[in-house]
Amino acid sequence: MRRALVLTLVWELVSEIVGWAGSLLIQPNKSDTTAAVASQLLPGEHLSHFEAIWVRWDGSWYALLGSQGYGPHVSNLDAFFPAYPLLIHIVGIPLGGRYLLAGIVINRLLLFPTVVIFMKLVRRDEPGDGRETELAPLMILLIPGAVFLLGALTETLFVFACLAAMLAMRRERWLLAGAACALATGTRLPGVVLVGTLALELLLRRDWLRAVYCSAIGMAGIGLFSLYTLITQHDLLGFKNAYKHGSWNDQTFTLNVLRGPLRYFHEMLADPPTKNYGGIVTFGYLAALALVVVLAVLCIRRLSWPLRFFVVGTALIPLLSGSMFSYYRYAMIPLLPMMVLATRWLSRRPQWRDSAVLALASLAIFDIMAFASGHWVS
């Protein structure tokens, strides 16, 4: 626990320094209007430079929801699920209405328990001589896409909910697992896959009744959100219809999960990574998908059937939109069970372990510097 706390605090401090350096050394992205949007949405709130570098893109919208809530009609805001904005509202009140700051504080506070739960999962799933639990904090802190655990986004809360549900399932604390699933479905749509994971775990144990009511508890997050939009906006699927507004018009449901990868592959050929930063981002999307596929092939036999369902489901849901937009962010979730296995495997192989940690740290530093300077990395 002490090791986890020290490493978490050190990583947060290092990230702050790296982010500050990146914002000064890298030319800011001129198309990033986050600061202007935040000042318009929340005119009375002013962030220091050290704080502002972590509020990017959707962070402003979450802070707006935390301060004002949803509107009377379906809009692009309804695409954002309510659990994280609700926490922002709760934390923002004692902070004197500084809701942008609240979004950052929540994730920094949640990062330590997230690391601890991951350590417990590694130790419980793969008991050994302790080397794997020493490596575990670094593996989760440096997971591909780790920068999103630091910014004012939903990743930390969602990862926390997923890991908590997995640990509760391993300990056969089914009501707690259902509550964690409810938090996940109230945070992001892929939470429904976590509910399916819990249901499958119970069905394989032939515990039919518990599978029904624990799944019902797990669906409470998205269910209450749908009920809210039905009552206030007369639209049960407000979170889905929100994609008709804003800049998401190209994302429509399709069962052709290859549509997005093929589209982005052609875009990368036309705009290669060596040409400009946009090509690097497109390459990152495809590389994230390739990483998930390769690790799934290597790890799938060592995963239980419920975790196989979790990996495949959370990897496919973003592709059902016919796009790979932000897939680098989404890829963090299916990687979670495989990172547990990778931690154990690397802990027994020091020569591979050090190389893997160095590679992950290098990627994380690149992401942090790009993120802090306003460049799109998701």
For 173-212, write each residue's pLDDT tens digit: 999 999 999 999 999 999 999 999 999 999 999 999 999 9
pLDDT tens for each residue of 62-108: 988 998 899 888 888 898 999 999 999 999 999 988 888 999 999 99
Give 266 or 124, the one with higher predicted confidence.
Answer: 266
Checking if the pLDDT of 6 tops 60, the result is yes
CA angle, corner 147, sides to 143 and 149, nearest 5?
80
Q: What is the pLDDT of residue 251?
A: 65
- Per DSSP, helices labelled H in 205-276 are 208-218, 220-233, 238-241, 259-270
> How does the average pLDDT of the chain come out, rounded?
90
Q: Which residue has the tokens 């908590």?
A: 164
Annotate 295-327 with DSSP letters as a single string: HHHHHGGGS-HHHHHHHHHHHHGGGGGT--TTH
245-252: average pLDDT:
64
Write down the pTM of the prediction: 0.94
60 confidence band (pLDDT: 50, 70, 90): confident
Of 185-199, 222-236, 260-274, least confident by mean pLDDT is 260-274
166-179: average pLDDT:
97
pLDDT tens for each residue of 137-164: 999 999 999 999 998 999 999 999 999 9
250 confidence band (pLDDT: 50, 70, 90): low
Among 191, 199, 136, which Cα is nearest to 159's? 191
Checking if the pLDDT of 169 tops 80, the result is yes
- Alpha carbon distance 74, 232 (integer Å): 9
Largest CA-CA distance found in the chain, in angstroms, rounded: 59
